[in-house]
Structure 1
Amino acid sequence: MRLGTIAKVPVGAHWSVLVVLVLLVAILGASVLPAAGGEGSPLIYWSVAVVTALLFLACLLAHEIAHLLVAQRTGVGAISLTLWLMGGVTELKGEPRTPRAELAIAVAGPLASIAVSAVGFLLATSLQGVPVVRVAMIWLAFMNLVLGVFNLLPGAPLDGGRVLHALIWRRTGDRAQADQRAAGAGKILGGLLVALGVAQLLLWPAMGGLWTIIIGMFLVTAAHTQLLQQQLRTGLAGMRVRDVMTADPVAVPAWFDVDRFVSSVASQTHQTAFPVVDTSGALTGYVLLQTFQGVPPGQRGTTRVDSLARPLPPDRILSPGQEATVLLDLPLTGDQLAVVVEDGRIVGTVTSADLVRTIQLARLRPPSVPGPPTSPS
């Protein structure tokens, strides 16, 4: 859901934010605010609960905006800002070029949350005679403090993981080593949270623990995914699309029927995804081998390939000279592919298997020698 733009960057919210909003309103309206005492009516409690929950989402947005603005100031830039179930995420245009830039971007969000918390506590002390509003303000201030401090824990993908990454990178000059250590710290942190959640469920059921387990599992998974992305980015650094692609793929004519495709095309190659071309050899889409399994045997002689083909989005039609890092922005999962075209002729394809192979080759390269960072930081 598109919310607008900030500093020319699109801002949106995933549908899961509605789940967060409902949960926060329920917790505030049913337990937190009634504990304030006074003569407040249920209508007042629930009204204040809705406003407080919306303000907390605004605080999450402020946390991410801080990341975004510093990223732009350091020359990294941002692609999008999205709120979702686990908070918010700011997608950067690239990686910071220096440890100093990465450190500045990483600490901006937590510092913004801690600053909001301080303002909230100050406002709460000035609110006299309005217990419900005062409790709501204290809750907001406390939650922002938790948000800021928790995000500074030293493990990827938290902001503290980026801080740790920047410090290791600055000390060793080895970005790959920093990737490994920050991801490892994130996995350890996530594992500890899972263990804490299990202990809560077994020893202190009243404290819950399920949410702690979910957060811990998310950290473990996200740290692993982030490390893979960094390894892939490292593996693709300095490479072109031609270095990653499978050259001279077999293309299938759009007018072929399924039987002819199987006998004269599919049986002659190990490909599982095929570019589809028209009579002039121009690309019209692509088709997956598994798609043909859904065609009844009696219809395979009359069903044309182009009736089963999928359109290929423009961002998945590449040129061989493009930087290979462009592949990181494409949804190349399963049998999805990008087609490489030069002078109107198909010269290659790129699938997830090609990217996996690139990572494997990158891991076989000699490790970089630690040294000073490329620029002062």
Structure 2
Amino acid sequence: MNEETSSTRRPGLRIGRVFGVPVIVSPTWLILAVLVTVIYSDIVQAAVPGISGGLVYVVSFGFVVTLCVSVFLHELGHALVSRHYGIEVRSITLEMLGGHTEMASEAQSPKVEAAVALAGPLVSAVLGVAGVAALALTPPGGLATQFAFQIAASNIIVAVYNALPGMPLDGGRALRALVWAIKGDRHLASRVAGWTGRAVAVATGLGGALLYFCGVVTTIGIVFALLIAGVLWLGATRSIQIGQLGARFHLLDVRSLLRPAAPVTTGTPLAEALRRMREAEAVSVVVVGSNGEPLALLSGPAARAVPEHRRPWIPVDDVSRAITPETAWDPRWRGDEVVDAMRRHHAPEYAVMFGGRFEGLVRASDIADVLDPRRPVPTTGTAAPADTGTVPHRQEDDQT
């Protein structure tokens, strides 16, 4: 149905790889399989006279499989076009209300955004036309006709609905690309596509209710429509929020977010490391090797978990997080560079390095403060001294 850049792992069964991309089936897909098999069985009995009871459900389940394959090919279209433009694809997930393709980064131009967005509906449209052609060539009333109908119906439904101009649908991403190209502002485009997505969500819910009261769909049908409307509303709202945050990306500057950390050599007792931190009026501790190379940053939660009477006997290394290439930032980064680095690797704190030298640290909570439109932009560079006798407690530390 859509593409995501989230790095959050979703539950599901990995069934294999296609072109190197992991394919995951969500547990919610089983709910879809049961519902569609039961609902579609009545249509099969009416369309294929004389079919036996057990075979009805086999054919009906075949529609579920056809729908699943259709969604997969749709998402594969997104994945292959993304790769063509150099965007890493992390996975394809099939779930109850469609599917999504998870990407490591966003498109860097409106052209790429539109190409990736429209690839999925284009694949579905081609498959739908092939199904219609097969339907025209098969004699009516047989299983072959029913199978051709399944291919045509599933792909046309996927193509048409996903082409609607609202986030998080593919048509919404195409609309975002269009507004981005016209206005030159990707974040404004996200907000516009998010509001149209909310309109599509409302229309989906109202349309489902109207069909229910007219007797066209059953109770299961209206519940399914409302579920889709709810998912669309949440996705559209997320697009609006991302657009609001994105409008403040230009405020991000690593140098302005720097906080001091007190250097201590590896093997230093935790109690001594905390004493030096307080003495230097720093907010954390950076563990360095004998040659001065920065190795790790003190972990607040881990340090607080050590009883005070044990701190003289615990090396600071035991309660520190190693500095890796993913958590080492360049002080020259600004705007989207900062956001992209956070997307690649989530951490409560990042070490700022230049030429192998440690310059300070940046806290994820400070970045959140800058991006939050309800809060003023943080003042440059300095932090309040840490209270003596305690390890500074920050909410973001508890979330790691």
Q: Tell me which residue corresponds to 2:17.
A: 4
- How far is 1:24 from its partner? 4.1
Q: Which residue of 2 aligns with 1:153?
A: 164
1:281 is paired with a residue whose SS is coil
1:65-117 deviations in whole A, cap 9, x for unaligned?
333444456x464434422424122527542424x543343222212212212
Residue 360 of structure 2 aligns to a residue whose secondary structure is strand
Structure 1 stretches of 5 or more lacking a match?
366-377
1:209 and 1:313 mapped to 2: Cα distance? 50
Task: Check the 8 A contact 1:254/1:305 in 2, yes or no.
Answer: yes
Amino acid at match of 2:195: G
Alignment of 1:99-114 (within 5 A): 100-114=111-125
| 8 Å Cα contact 1:60/1:88 also seen in 2 | no
Could you say which residue in structure 2 is the equivalent of 1:356? Answer: 368
Q: What is aligned with 1:83?
A: 93
**Which residue among 44, 47, 51 is the counterpart of 1:39?**
51
The aligned amino acid for 1:206 is T
2:338 paired with 1:330: no
Distance of 1:230 and 1:215 partners within structure 2:
23
Judge conservation of contact 1:286–1:312 (CA < 8 Å) in 2: yes
Q: 1:50 Cα shift? A: 5.6
Give the conservation status (yes or no) of the 8 Å contact 1:40–1:132: no
Q: Does structure 2 conserve the Cα–Cα contact (< 8 Å) formed by 1:154 and 1:164?
A: yes
Aligned partner letter, 2:117: A
Aligned-residue sequence identity (percent) comes to: 20
- CA drift of 1:131 comes to 3.9
- The one-letter code of the counterpart of 1:223 is A
- Structure 2 gaps, min length 5: 1-13, 378-400
- Within 5 Å, which residues of 2 pair with 1:139-150? 139-150=150-161
Secondary structure of 1:310's match?
Answer: strand
Does structure 1 retain, via aligned residues, the 8 Å contact 2:166–2:200? yes
Per the alignment, do residues 132 and 215 of structure 1 end up closer, same or farther by CA in structure 2, a change over 3 Å counting?
A: same
Paired residues of 1:233 and 1:328 also in contact (CA < 8 A): no
| 3-state secondary structure, aligned to 2:230 | helix
Once the two structures are superposed, the pairs formed by residues 139-288 of structure 1 within 5 Å of their partners are 139-191=150-202, 193=204, 206-230=219-243, 235-236=248-249, 242-243=254-255, 245-251=257-263, 253-265=265-277, 271=283, 275-288=286-299
Q: For 2:165 and 2:218, how far apart are their aligned partners in 1? A: 28
Query: What is the match of residue 370 of structure 1?
Result: none
Tell me whether 1:13 sits opposite 2:23 in the alignment. Answer: yes
Q: Secondary structure at the match of 1:314?
A: coil
| CA gap 1:268/1:136 in 2 versus in 1, 3 angstroms | farther
Residue 209 to residue 49, structure 1, CA distance change in 2 (3 Å): closer
Q: CA-to-partner distance for each residue in 1:161-215, whole Å, 9 max, x for gaps?
A: 1222233334444444323211222234335556777899999872354444443
2:353 counterpart of 1:344: no
TM-score for the superposition, normalised by structure 1: 0.74
Letter in 2 for 1:12: P
Partner of 1:368: none
Contact 2:71 2:94 in 1 (8 A): no
For residues 65-80 of structure 1, the aligned pairs below 5 Å read 65-71=76-82, 75=85, 77-80=87-90
**How big is the alpha-carbon RMSD for the aligned residues of Structure 1 and Structure 2?**
4.0
Instruction: Evaluate the alpha carbon distance shift between residue 30 and residue 176 of structure 1 in structure 2; reply closer, same or farther with a 3 A threshold.
Output: closer
What is the count of residue pairs matched by the alignment?
352
Contact 2:78 2:101 in 1 (8 A): no
TM-score, length-scaled by structure 2: 0.70
Q: Distance between the aligned counterparts of 1:256 and 1:202, measured in 2? A: 73
C-alpha distance in 2 between matches for 1:285 and 1:170? 43
Q: What SS does structure 2 have at the residue aligned with 1:135?
A: helix
- SS in structure 2 at match of 1:315: coil
User: Structure 1: how far apart are the matches of 2:302 and 2:242?
Assistant: 29
- Give runs of aligned pairs for residues 285-300 of structure 1, distance below 5 A: 285-300=296-311
